[in-house]
Amino acid sequence: MGKINQVKQITHVPFVNLYELDVTNKTGADGKYYVASRAKDPEAMKLATGNNTPDGVIIYSVYGEQRDRVVLVRQYRYSIGGFIYEFPAGLVEPGEDYHEAGIRELKEETGLTLELLPADPMYENPGFTTVGMTDESCATIYGYASGEVSDRGQEDAEEIQVVLADRQEVRRILREERVAIMCAYMLMHFLKDPEPFAFLEG
């Protein structure tokens, strides 16, 4: 098994930092590995704490009287120089419960109010986003969205369009658009499952 010998912080900037790891691999060879993390210092990284506290939360919600539209955001991302379809999401503030963070983020990004559905913890447990590159993890919450779409709560740095997509539009998005991978998997289930949240009852 690989071994981490030392961790060096390369950057000191808000929201995400780069860390250099001195490592020894399974053959005994020494090398370097680079990890992006939302941790403010090496001691707070998941490799140091062993804890998987969610950095962010993703909100999978449906909308409408028939609950037949899924709430998406079409967001401009500098990392790809263009727009991508995602679920509403955001960072969990220090000391904030991720359920509260999800309700807050949905309101800020879309103007909608979330009626949270209870879920077995296994459906909400934080999952790692791109573990070959970062230790970031996100919890997922579920619910019914209501109210009027609004961009009043969005930050100036955010370029977000709210999309209430029915199944026909979801098919088009999956065929033609760039979609975040976690969102894409859930949209595939949305297409096939008459009750989007039936899996939460099992």
Neighbours of 40 (CB within 10 A): 13
Per-residue pLDDT of the chain (202 residues; tens, 9 = 90+): 999 999 999 999 999 999 999 999 999 999 999 999 999 999 999 999 999 999 999 999 999 999 999 999 999 999 999 999 999 999 999 999 999 999 999 999 999 999 999 999 999 999 999 999 999 999 999 999 999 999 999 999 999 999 999 999 999 999 999 999 999 999 999 999 889 999 898 6
Parallel, antiparallel, or unpaired: how do β-strands 56-63 and 137-146 relate? parallel
What is the distance between the alpha carbons of residues 183 and 163, in angstroms, rounded to a whole number?
A: 13
Distance, CA of 101 to CA of 200 (rounded, Å): 20
